């Protein structure tokens, strides 16, 4: 089966940097996604990693280490609008999961002024 862990809640202040960690255990890893979800809204895509290393996209960066089953999402220059839940999701091609995208429980980030 699959197991995806991420912290439940985090807090930070405007202008700061925050790192949200995600660890996973899967049988057939085939990519890791990060999604952002504001309260009452649908998740929206942030980033995708399939090879080890850092992917940078503006204020957001995502890192992957396949050997350690570990990823993080780095948010720089935090803004109030970054207050949201951040969802780590793994694509698992094991027999049990088929071709599904499996989500962690999400990390709720609160940014204060």
**Chain contacts with other proteins (rule: CB under 8 A):** 30-31, 33, 35, 41-45, 48, 50, 87, 89, 91, 98-106
CB of residue 68 to other proteins, shortest distance in Å:
21
Task: Copy the structure tokens of residue 16.
Answer: 């700061």
Q: Who's near 35: CB < 8 A, 6+ residues apart?
A: 43, 44, 45, 46, 86, 87, 89, 103
Pair 20, 109: CB distance under 8 Å: yes
CB of residue 48 to other proteins, shortest distance in Å:
6
Q: Which is nearer to other proteins, 68 or 105 (CB)?
A: 105
Q: Which is nearer to other proteins, 82 or 91 (CB)?
A: 91
Q: Which is nearer to other proteins, 73 or 87 (CB)?
A: 87
Bridge partners (DSSP) of residue 66 are: none
């Amino acid at each position: 089966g699959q197991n995806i862990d991420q912290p439940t809640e985090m807090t930070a202040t405007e202008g700061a940097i925050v790192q949200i960690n995600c660890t996973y255990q899967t049988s057939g890893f085939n990519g890791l996604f990060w999604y952002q979800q504001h309260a009452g809204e649908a998740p929206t895509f942030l980033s995708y990693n399939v090879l080890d290393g850092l992917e940078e996209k503006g204020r957001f960066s995502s890192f992957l280490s396949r050997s350690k089953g570990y990823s993080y999402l780095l948010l720089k220059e935090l803004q109030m609008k970054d207050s949201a839940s951040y969802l780590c999701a793994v694509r698992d091609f094991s027999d049990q999961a088929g071709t599904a995208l499996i989500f962690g429980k999400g990390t709720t980030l609160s940014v204060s002024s």
